[in-house]
Amino acid sequence: MYNDAQQHINDSSRIVIIQAENPDGDSLGSALALEEILGDLGKEVSLYCPVEIPKYLRYVQGWDRVENDFTTNADLAIIVDTSADVLLSKVLETPGVRHFLESHPVLVIDHHVTATNTLSFPHTLLSEEAISTSEVIYGLAQDAGWTINQQAAENLLLAQMADSLGLSTQGVTPKSYRIAAELTELGAHVSTIEERRREFMKKAPEILEYKGKLLQRIEYFLDGKLALVHIPFDEIQEYSDKYNPSVLVLDEMRLVDDVQVAVAIKTYPDGKLTGKLRSNLAVSDQIAGYFGGGGHPYAAGFRVYEDYDKIIHELVATAQKVLNEAA
């Protein structure tokens, strides 16, 4: 399973690690862990993301080494935590990047096994059922006998914790706990990670005020089974640098009586519309998949260029169909 990935890495001396345009704790932690592991192998590693790392992720040590300028001085590209072209559109629109990806070896490490692989350039895919991409990377390193130093262990653990809400989601397995235990034995500490995270999660008074406004304008459909909140571009501009607006309310929306699916919709001036889903049933990835997105059964997302009212109509119809099938 790991042979092709290991061969690509062994054959390369300069490696660029790419995150999609929606970086999260798993993609950032995985990228930084790979930087440590591959650096200990003597590789020259650079980190790339087409957008700025959000402030709520800056508790992760090393986030500031992620660059917004793509380097073509590499033998291998490793893409972490996605196998969807739509989430790499900013990457592919960057001058020279598509040509690089089409003319160099590309290794994709992902854990979204239910999502359709839509990458439009040649690549080697390393993917397995796991709660985080960091678990896949841990398996790769263990199989190869590569050293996982203390910082790499911390990055892998925080990525695992981020994508599983502290090992509390339904996809967590006994293997997940074993990996967490082994990373702890390597020097990672949940308490250290959580202390830093909580410090960065502190909210300014205006963010709490804005959260109240978001909660007041939640809409309910399908007899309360679907909860939806719209976040327009002016609010994205005003608040996103301080705190991701959708993250502010999604989990609380999911905890409302009768709600099975919660969706935050963001709209942009260029016609782009993004949806972030959280659900109490294993349906999020199915609903997102209708719109060309994907993710996990209980957390997923999508991006389209379409009229808002049309998408809401289709979202309600799709959610109704999927929920009826899940009943």
| Mean pLDDT computed over 113-117 | 70
CATH of domain 3-198: 3.90.1640.10
Work out the mean pLDDT of the chain and round it to a whole number. 93
Specify the amino acid at residue 283: V
**How far apart, in whole angstroms, are the C-alpha atoms of residue 156 and residue 61?**
12
Do 5 and 66 contact (CB within 8 A), yes or no?
no
Our CA dihedral for 197, 240, 256, 228, rounded to 10 degrees, sits at: -150
| Per-residue pLDDT at 116 exceeds 80 | no
pLDDT in tens, 147-186: 999 999 999 999 999 988 888 887 899 999 999 999 999 9
Beta-carbon neighbour count of residue 272 at 10 Å?
14
Quote the pLDDT of residue 114: 64
Both tokens assigned to 90 = 């900013």
| Beta strands across the sheet bearing 44-48 | 66-67, 44-48, 14-18, 76-80, 106-110, 124-127
Distance of alpha carbon 14 from alpha carbon 137, whole angstroms: 18
pLDDT at site 165: 81
Q: Burial-class residue 208 by CB neighbours within 10 Å (0-12, 13-18, 19+).
A: exposed
Rounded Cα gap, residues 152 and 48, in angstroms: 18
> 297 and 285 in contact (C-beta within 8 Å)?
yes
Residues 145 and 161: beta-carbon distance below 8 Å: no
Q: Is residue 241's pLDDT more than 80?
A: no
In the chain, which segments carry CATH 3.90.1640.10? Answer: 3-198
For CATH 3.10.310.30, list the domain ranges present in the chain.
Answer: 205-326
The CATH-assigned architecture of domain 205-326 is Roll (3.10)
Instruction: Supply the pTM of this predicted model.
Output: 0.85
